[in-house]
Amino acid sequence: MQISVDDRGYYGRFGGAYIPEMLYPNVEELRDQYLSIIATDDFQRDFHHLLRDYVGRPTPLYLAERLSEHFGVTIYLKREDLCHTGAHKINNTIGQILLAQRLGKKRIIAETGAGQHGVATATVCALMGLECVVYMGSVDIQRQAPNVARMRMLGAEVRPATSGSQTLKDATNEAIRDWINNPVDTHYIIGSVVGPHPYPDMVARFQSVISAEMKTQLLEATGKEDPQIIIACVGGGSNAAGAYYHYLNQPEVRLIAVEAAGEGVHSGKSAATSVLGTEGVIHGSRTLLMQTADGQIVEPHSISAGLDYPGIGPMHAHLITTGRAEAVSITDEDAMRSAFFVSRQEGIIPALETAHAFSALDHIQYNSSDVIVINLSGRGDKDLGTYIQHIDRFQPENAIR
């Protein structure tokens, strides 16, 4: 089975572009031009120059010796936490801002949940001197104050989304409304492999630098380009898409997609879309989403704002329903335990999203001779406010209190 998107943006039966008529001109313009613009020497030169000198790529592939010893298997970490702004998200915003410039756009809009994508967008807008408006649910504005401050420091306007649950899904609705009203001068930078075609494919291509580097780095470190297993957490699915991309058509490489089970998959407070989701349309694409029998979106829950989304990108819906990827659901509590464990085992404080990926090591089968790569999607600075609330429960026996 060949895994790639067709020219209408479908991965199997998932994907496409389900958009209101008012959005057609914007989405058509992108669809017509994204592949030819990305392919130009000029674009490739600017993209790779900025990834190297501004983002700090290639990010290291780090052999985690103490984790490897603990789990009895070889574990490498792909260090996206070392990217400028602290996560993989900037790979995509660099690509999209270069595209927006070439389309002659003067104004950038984005949606954000935890604020990581908002910060990555505000960053590239400052870099290029473009106006930036970031939509964010008013509840998230309260919960994620440090990232709101960063966006404003960078010169972006943060506009609250006050409808619905006042979180990511509502911010996305507001951004789409803005784009409809400003079709000529504005580009909408979507932050994950979600939305109407061509966004899922475009974002996956920009993030695919992760697996391109992994192949070179693994060859150098182990003598082979391919690991046995790649593990990544999945909110919309962009860091996972980047980590899987150049391995999609190698079925011998196992792909593990780690979702947030929240308080438990069947607790009613979960974001485990691959288990609970059914087929439907959300934010412009046909995919798996958490919905009631009559199509109302079910509010998701996860302790990590980056995984707290009721849908999943169409590529991942396809990978999981065809069995190419294995889905694992991790609870808030297990992710929290892994965050403290990894911090003390390796001296790396992971983002709460990434902590879910580490926790999957307790839930999958592997052989001791396997090489496992975990995509370390981001650093945990933004989550310290949450971590500190749990720190007393995870003190080592002999700690000084």
Ligand X SMILES: *Cc1c(COP(=O)(O)O)cnc(C)c1O
64, 214, 233, 361: residue in contact with ligand X (rule CB under 6 A) = 233
In 3-state terms, what secondary structure has residue 189? strand
By CB under 6 A, residue 172 contacts ligand X: no
Query: Which of 171, 189, 202, 234 touches ligand X (CB under 6 A)?
Result: 234
Q: How far is the CB of 304 from ligand X (least distance, A)?
A: 8
Distance, CA of 339 to chain centre: 18
How far apart are the C-alpha atoms of 325 and 253, rounded to whole Å?
Answer: 10
Q: Taking a C-beta distance cutoff of 8 angstroms, is the pair 316, 241 a contact? A: yes
With CB under 6 A as the contact rule, which of the stretches 39-47, 177-185, 231-239, 290-298 interacts with ligand X? 231-239
Of 80, 213, 377, 382, which residue is the catalytic one? 377
* Closer Cβ to ligand X, 81 or 170, answer by number: 81
Q: Of the listed 78, 89, 105, 169, which one is catalytic? A: 89
Nearer to ligand X, 109 or 234 (CB): 234
Q: Is 215 a catalytic residue?
A: no
Q: Which is nearer to ligand X, 74 or 272 (CB)?
A: 272
Token pair recorded at residue 71: 């789990």
- Whether 377 is catalytic is yes
DSSP code per residue over 207-220: HTHHHHHHHHHHHH
Stretch that binds ligand X, among 48-56, 227-235, 268-276, 320-328 (CB under 6 A): 227-235
**Which residues 328-347 are close enough to bind ligand X by CB under 6 A?**
none
- Which residue's CB is nearer to ligand X, number 74 or number 201? 201
Write out the binding residues for ligand X, residues 89-118 only, by CB under 6 A.
Answer: 89, 116
Contact 245, 232 (CB under 8 A): no
Residues in region 68-87 near ligand X by CB under 6 A: 87
Catalytic residue among 80, 111, 259, 326: 111
Which CB atom, from 9 or from 311, has the smaller least distance to ligand X? 311
The dihedral built from the CA positions of residue 202, 207, 213 and 218, taken in this order, carries a sign that is negative
Residue 378 found at the interface with ligand X (CB under 6 A)? yes
Contact yes or no for 175/264 (Cβ under 8 A): no
Minimum distance of ligand X from residue 231's CB (angstroms): 13
CB contact at 8 A, 335 and 380: no
The neighbour count for residue 295, using CB atoms within 10 Å, is 10
Sheet holding 14-15, edge to edge: 10-11, 14-15, 285-289, 278-282
Q: According to the binding rule CB under 6 A, does residue 195 interact with ligand X?
A: no
Sole binder of ligand X in the list 196, 236, 262, 277 (CB under 6 A): 236
DSSP annotation of 22 reads G
Question: Which residues in the 347-366 window bind ligand X by CB under 6 A?
Answer: 351, 353-354
Active site residue 304: no
Q: For residues 211, 336, 314 and 319, what is the CA-based torsion angle, rounded to 10 degrees?
A: 60
For residue 79, the minimal CB distance to ligand X (Å) is 12
Give 231-270 as a DSSP string.
EEE-SSSHHHHHHHGGGTT-TTSEEEEEEEEET-TTSS--
Separation of alpha carbons 191 and 313, rounded Å: 11
| Residue selected from 118, 137, 284, 306 as contacting ligand X according to rule CB under 6 A | 306
Active site residues: 89, 111, 377
- Interacting residue ranges for ligand X, rule: CB under 6 A: 87, 89, 116, 192, 233-239, 306, 351, 353-354, 377-378
